[in-house]
Amino acid sequence: MNIDLFYPNASKSYLMGYADASYLSYPYNGRSQIGYLFTCGGTTISWRSVKQTITTTSSNHAKILALHEVSRKCVCLRSIIQHVQQTCGLSSRKIKLTTIYEDNSACITQLKEGYIKGDKKSIFLPKFFFTHDLQRNGDVEIQNICSCENLANLITKSLQRRTFEQLVHKIGLRHLNDISLHDGEK
């Protein structure tokens, strides 16, 4: 099977992130699977899927931890892009806002407002408000996305075949036979 990531010439090179968590995907030890994926110009440039090291008490908490991880990676990627642009003389101004998509609106609201709702057993360390600080500084914006459109679902949960194929195409994976070298995508 000849499948590769396809980076078209005519794409806009803005950074977008996607975060997701599959709550209690490891029920025997109370852990969840978290994942994130970044695209630049519509093609994936970075992704990660890992079992959380912290036990969470709700899907909301699992997704807040996923957003914390995607925010940390976002800072790194923004720094790399800024360095490359400056080194190549492409731009000396700050990178525009990075949009990070999440499919849990309650989680997004809590991080935007700077509070995390939880039970008495849940204690969130100040570091988990990092995403809120990035939003306040204008570096990132967390936006709601329909779960079936969240690219990070590819690496956190099982999907129906049709949804899987649509998301695989959206991350930039193409069959080599489907790519025309002169015309871009067929």
Q: What is the pLDDT of residue 124?
A: 54
Q: What is the pLDDT of residue 145?
A: 94
Q: What is the pLDDT of residue 125?
A: 55
Q: What is the pLDDT of residue 183?
A: 44
What residue ranges define each of the domains in the chain, with the CATH number in brackets? 11-178 (3.30.420.10)
d(CA 186, CA 181): 10
Q: What is the pLDDT of residue 92?
A: 63
d(CA 73, CA 67): 10
Residue 28 has pLDDT above 90, yes or no: no
Least confident of 55-59, 64-68, 107-111: 55-59
Percent of the chain with pLDDT over 70: 80
- 78-105 pLDDT, tens digit each: 999 888 888 888 766 677 889 999 998 8
Q: What is the pLDDT of residue 27?
A: 67
Element (DSSP H or E) covering residue 86: helix 59-87
77 or 10: which leads in pLDDT = 77
d(CA 33, CA 69): 12
Q: Locate 34 and state its tokens.
A: 């978290």
Nearest to 132 by CA among 164, 108, 165, 161: 108
Q: Are strands 140-144 and 173-175 parallel, antiparallel or unpaired?
A: unpaired
Interval 48-52 mean pLDDT: 86
